[in-house]
Amino acid sequence: MALAALGWVLGDQDRAERLLSLTGMTPDVLREGIGQAYVQAAVLEFLINHEPDLVAAADDLQVKPEAIVAAHERLTQ
């Protein structure tokens, strides 16, 4: 879920820049850490914290917003 969500985020330059700005990650950290739960959780949290993006991402990924929230919860337990 997080990898698909990241692809969705990176599909828009403004949104991608906002992700980096709000998470404090650099492109290198993102690339090198995407296999790590903390990076995946940060990507999902980014969506969760901005409902319009959460709803749009869920729609494009053909999942319910609740599925993104649940994936985030699994990563942060």
Q: What is the reported pTM?
A: 0.94
Summarize pLDDT for 4-14 with one digit per residue, the tens. Answer: 999 999 999 99
Instruction: Report domain extents, the chain.
Output: 2-75
Q: Which amino acid is at 40?
A: Q
Mean pLDDT of 21-33: 96
User: So what's the pLDDT on residue 76?
Assistant: 96
- Work out the pLDDT band at 33, boundaries 50, 70, 90: very high
Structure tokens at 56: 């749009």
Rounded Cα–Cα distance for residues 75 and 35 (Å): 12
Rounded Cα–Cα distance for residues 18 and 50 (Å): 11
CA of 20: how far to CAs of 36, 43, 74, in Å? 16, 10, 23
Q: How many residues does the chain have?
A: 77
User: So what's the pLDDT on residue 62?
Assistant: 98
